Structure 1
Amino acid sequence: MARCRFVLSIISLLWSQAVQMPTLAIIQAAQQQVEIKMNLDRSLRNLSVQWKGLLLPIMVLTAMVFAPAHADAEAPVSTISPATNHASPNVITDWTPPPAFLAGMAAIAQGDSAAVNAAIADLKDNPLATYLRFRFLLDSPTSDTAPVIAFLQKHPDYVFSAQLKSQTLNSLIRQQQFADYQRLLSVAPELKSNLRLSCQGWQAALELGTLTAQQVKDAEQFWAQGRNQQSYCDPIFKWLQAHDKLTPNLYRQRIKASMIAGNPSFASYLVRAGTSRKISGLDAYFKRWDEAYKDPQGTLQQALQRYHSYPGHDEQALLIQAFKWLGRSDPQAAHDLLAQLPNSWRINPDEQAEIARVFALKAAYTRMPQAYDWLMALPASVQDKETRTWTARAALRVQDWARLKVAIKAMPVDLSQTPQWQYWLARADAELGKNQEAKARWQALVHTPDYYGLLAADRLGIAYPWPKIPPLPTMNTRAVEKNPTVQLAFYLKAAGLTDDARRAFLSALKEIPPEQIPALTLLAEQSKWHDRVSIAIARMKKQDDPHWFAARFPTPWESTVDAQARARKD
């Protein structure tokens, strides 16, 4: 059934392409009909004999696909192949995938390498040829890594090479082909480091006898993280345990990390696991952390009475965390106890500032009146956009306009100059009697096409200065259309391979020079690829440019909505 659905999806794609064809292309379509039918015949002959019963209806549909294509067609739209050197900026490019690509995808579904190779040969220099080779290697994994390595060596910077390499590495680990794993790992592109890749690399080195002391140390630190690790790390973790690498200190480190992560149940499990390995003292260690977790205020109060000198490294770490836990549950109590902090505890100023940041932000989140003063008192080392924003909000909530101005002016420039805070700075000026300054700021905002621009217009008592939305810019897209990654993105979109098309589009955005991004945006708009249009406009930083509003705010159902509105009105 899956194979049947695959063939029907190909026919559906051909049908959807046909109904959108312009009248001027009828003759071309008729000329291509025989070629398409022959290509489909050839690809279908390569499929399983299970399809024999489907061949007749499929051929009938293929023969019929162009007949009704123009019965309901709208006004003709000029189209052109991406390979054509056109000069007109208003010509819409036809990204219909060549029939050879559809045949190649069908062959991949059947694992027919000969048919795949034939399709690739037919595609010649079309970027879909490389994509077909990638998909065949991805969807038809074998124990032979040579074809994958050859592909990666030929296309190290290809948009999908990292995906192919990653998936093949996973397959090699499952098949326990550790030498092939290490060989493939050394081939470009270099993958981003992650836990799976690290654990697989350690497992391969372990099985091949090449595990280094540094790798063992790194694996120990991964094990000591405060959460349950994924199963792909089990081989190296079992080896660490079997070779007595999981020391009492590592168990304590992981119990501590689990408690800080708010995972006491996992910490309790670690105590049982360590005790079964005859590691002593874990019960008492966990109990002390669990008490601080459940009652941080009581723990700190007892510590103030007990410790009149340095409490030791482990106890100091526990007390610092107790302050943070208390700051999230009772900011006032945390503030008061921090004021009693003995110098002998040696909690340095940076750690004290982090504690103060926790309870000051919690106070702001819960609308405590102390929040403004506590946030303003934070040292610069822990001030950031979050603390500065909540300082302003704390003043705004009680309409303390003078403090609001102070808070906004203390913000980083890129935050204070945003329409939101420029509006509220003007509002503070107005409330403090500085009307001219307020009007000047609001006047500067009214042409900003967002919520605060509209509020500024309301404050000035003027009509909303709706920008005139001009037609989209016209430009020659020929240069950007020559980019193979751009071509690949639009071909894949037309073929219904949306996820891969989006990846290719993002890769193209990074690949092309900035001056070509407007042309790429127009191509996406022509293809009604609205989400990619928005991304490209954001990349150009043109979100507020009226020249791009028609693309940024598409209205594909305007005629339908308008017709329904008129019908209701009548």
Structure 2
Amino acid sequence: MRTTIFYILSISFLLGSLPTAQANNKYWLQQRWHFKDAVGALEKEDLKAFKRLSAQIEDYPIAHYLRYLYLESHLETEKAETLLAFLEQYKDSPFVQPLREAWLSQLAKKRDWKTFIAAYTPQEDTILRCYYLQAHLHTQGHIKGQLDEAKDLWVVGKSQPDECDSAFKYLYDNEIITNQLRWERIRLVMQNRKLGLARFIAKGLSKTDQKLAKRWRLMYTNPARELKKFKHPDSPIAREIVLHGLKRLAYKNVVRAYNYWQDYQKRYAFTEAAKMEMFQHIILRGVRQKHPKAAQWLEEVDPNFVDETIKQAMLQFALAQQDWQAVIKLISSLSVAEQNELKWQYWLARALEKTGHTDDAEQQFQDLSQNRHYYGFLAADRLGKPYSFQPESLTVSKYIKNQLVENNAAVIRARELYIVGLTAFAREEWQAVLPTLTTEELEAAAVLAHEWGWHDKAIATIFKAGHYNDLKIRFPLPFYDTVLTQAQAQGLEFAYVYAIIRQESAFQTDARSTAGALGLMQLMPRTAKQMARQRKMKLKNTGESLLVPDINVLLGTTYLREMLNKFGGHYPLAAAAYNAGPKRAKRWAKKYGCLSPDIWVELIPFDQTRDYVQRVLSYTSVFEYQMVGHPQVKPMLLDVIQTKGCTR
């Protein structure tokens, strides 16, 4: 069972955080406790008690979730007709997909292919999709009606699970895999660097095409050698092989890649999109390698090829060279709308300041400093003035709030699911109702979620409503004692820890990233185990433990302190390391150390990490403001990176 008693027992805490009028409502209290007791009975397989308790809350808005929990744990014994009827009756409920997935997996293991087909709806899970094809092969002997599905599963850039083999054999045996499909898959496989799989797929090509596929693999392993002698006639495949080699070569020798690119453009009919992508790749590699030729290439770039990525590269190159005239020239070439963006306003002011136009720079900084933003705070720091936080509490109608919690069934379900600990389903119910709400209702929903302590949904909802100035909702201070205790124990800035949590999870205690990071501070299990050993802690179940706020913050602050120690107490570097890893942060520190810290942050090559560091720094100031209650907060935690050879 996905939801365990551990989470549902949190009800007593959550109820204490509700508004008094709701917490004292006898009906809701009874329904919630009966729900909790029913789940407890189900956990113990006390079905008699479960049925009795379930009967007592038949009118509870989430009573059908009890039925779901029962069916999920009794898939082997429940009749197919019962399950099909339940899935149809609640087809719009969040639990339908996980219940169907679990049932389909069980039916496949039992080889009950007829029922599998009856229960099947289009799935994203690869194994279930392949089981569906198996089901048709077993019941009909063919997959003529599912060929598109089978081909979609085959044309991917990786090996597929064994469950797909029978369907793929059918495709091979019936000569449905054409040369075009093979090349499509080889393209995807080469992008994923799966050379062995590419070799296997190429075996079905003609002898001539097999040789061309081999050249592609050789282009991957030794692009410089292959580009020098590649003379295949122009064709779409030949162009892709050349582009693949040029991109590979640019990582090691950007000048040779550029020269080859100039030559190959004369021999092959590349599309405009391909030209743009290739030129951008070479320019970006040149900028990141600080190659002297990069300035020339930036000058030569076709205006039609200049997008946000190239503009950022041009800015970074000029800043790395301290070429302030180039910064001014770049900004003057932008559209009026772009010039009004805070980033470009700030760097124009910095360039004006550096080129002696101090009055113009000061006025630009003055205007910019009125913004509650990373660049606004930087501008205020240049002027030595307090930050402008511009708080504005959201005022919502009590009538609209009451209408939502009394008459909107989806909002009520989301609230109750959140309170009893079924937070994943609560989020899905909440997300489903948001598009149906007016702006006023969205604002009221954000306030309600905040009052319930559901901070990640409050933050997301107030953003959707377009109200950005209620700092209590956007930058709350939950888990205060835990964060304070652990920050003090590790000698960390209290507001900095909050900023990391806000950026990592937006206070979603059960947050899970696609990479496997967990909890408030998004710790990877391996990192958490290392930190636990340092703190002489034993984690019985790392995954579940990291969803407990006290444990997550304890281990997260331990890791944050380790990053600060590794980087000499430099907060931006520690944030960069927390996001992108210490090896990358060390490399960036070495490459751009000694530069002004605002320039160093702008030179972070990863857009996501640069944005992360900027947000953490500015959020730190906002959280400090939230705690002290006045704008006289410390400047952002920006210091020069002291590396070998610094003269200032």
Deviation at 1:409, TM superposition (A): 5.2
Question: What residue number does 1:335 align with?
Answer: 258
> Is the aligned partner of 1:233 residue 2:160?
no
Question: What residue number does 2:452 align with?
Answer: 527
Aligned-pair identity in percent equals 22
> Is the aligned partner of 1:294 residue 2:221?
yes
Report the more deviating stretch, 441-450 or 353-362.
441-450
3-state SS of 2:93 partner: coil
> Is the aligned partner of 1:176 residue 2:111?
yes
Deviation at 1:253, TM superposition (A): 5.3
> Is the aligned partner of 1:125 residue 2:59?
yes
- Conserved 8 A contact 1:327-1:362: yes
Question: What residue number does 2:403 align with?
Answer: 479
TM-score (norm 1): 0.72
Report the more deviating stretch, 127-136 or 140-149.
140-149
CA separation of 1:399 and 1:541: change in aligned 2, threshold 3 A:
farther
Report the more deviating stretch, 279-288 or 332-341.
279-288
> Is the aligned partner of 1:492 residue 2:417?
yes
The superposition leaves residues 6-27 of structure 1 with CA deviations (integer Å, 9 ceiling, x where unpaired) of 77887x5576578x499xxxxx
The superposition leaves residues 280-331 of structure 1 with CA deviations (integer Å, 9 ceiling, x where unpaired) of 678745542232112212222223xx56xx3455434322322222233322
The superposition leaves residues 69-107 of structure 1 with CA deviations (integer Å, 9 ceiling, x where unpaired) of xxxxxxxx73326989xxxxxxxx977852321232134
Structure 2 CA distance for aligned equivalents of residues 291 and 560 of structure 1 = 54
- Conserved 8 A contact 2:372-2:387: no
Ranges in structure 2 where 5+ consecutive residues have no aligned partner: 489-648
Counterparts of 1:425-464 in structure 2, within 5 Å, are: 425-435=348-358, 437-464=360-387
Number of corresponding residues: 483
Deviation at 1:381, TM superposition (A): 6.0
Structure 2 CA distance for aligned equivalents of residues 295 and 262 of structure 1 = 13
3-state SS of 2:264 partner: coil
Ranges in structure 1 where 5+ consecutive residues have no aligned partner: 23-76, 85-92, 566-570
Structure 2 CA distance for aligned equivalents of residues 114 and 402 of structure 1 = 80
Question: What residue number does 1:540 align with?
Answer: 465
Structure 2 CA distance for aligned equivalents of residues 9 and 119 of structure 1 = 19
- Conserved 8 A contact 1:353-1:378: no
> Is the aligned partner of 1:80 residue 2:19?
no
> Is the aligned partner of 1:325 residue 2:248?
yes
Opposite residue 260 of structure 1, the aligned amino acid is: Q
Deviation at 1:336, TM superposition (A): 1.1
> Is the aligned partner of 1:266 residue 2:204?
no
Structure 2 CA distance for aligned equivalents of residues 208 and 336 of structure 1 = 59
Report the more deviating stretch, 409-418 or 446-455.
409-418
Report the more deviating stretch, 138-147 or 520-529.
138-147
Opposite residue 499 of structure 1, the aligned amino acid is: A
- Conserved 8 A contact 1:472-1:551: no
3-state SS of 1:98 partner: helix
- Greater Cα radius of gyration, structure 1 or 2: 1
CA separation of 1:549 and 1:99: change in aligned 2, threshold 3 A:
closer
Structure 2 CA distance for aligned equivalents of residues 393 and 419 of structure 1 = 16
Question: What residue number does 1:100 align with?
Answer: 34
TM-score (norm 2): 0.64
- Conserved 8 A contact 1:82-1:95: yes
The superposition leaves residues 414-450 of structure 1 with CA deviations (integer Å, 9 ceiling, x where unpaired) of 7654423321122223334555543443223222223
Opposite residue 228 of structure 2, the aligned amino acid is: Q
Structure 2 CA distance for aligned equivalents of residues 302 and 405 of structure 1 = 43
> Is the aligned partner of 1:215 residue 2:143?
no
Counterparts of 1:319-398 in structure 2, within 5 Å, are: 319-341=242-264, 343-375=266-298, 377-379=300-302, 382-398=305-321
Question: What residue number does 2:505 align with?
Answer: none
Aligned Cα RMSD in Å? 4.0
3-state SS of 2:240 partner: helix
CA separation of 1:460 and 1:340: change in aligned 2, threshold 3 A:
same
The superposition leaves residues 3-61 of structure 1 with CA deviations (integer Å, 9 ceiling, x where unpaired) of xx977887x5576578x499xxxxxxxxxxxxxxxxxxxxxxxxxxxxxxxxxxxxxxx
- Conserved 8 A contact 1:542-1:548: no
Question: What residue number does 1:73 align with?
Answer: none
Report the more deviating stretch, 227-236 or 548-557.
548-557
- Conserved 8 A contact 1:182-1:204: yes
The superposition leaves residues 383-404 of structure 1 with CA deviations (integer Å, 9 ceiling, x where unpaired) of 4322222222222222323332
> Is the aligned partner of 1:139 residue 2:52?
no
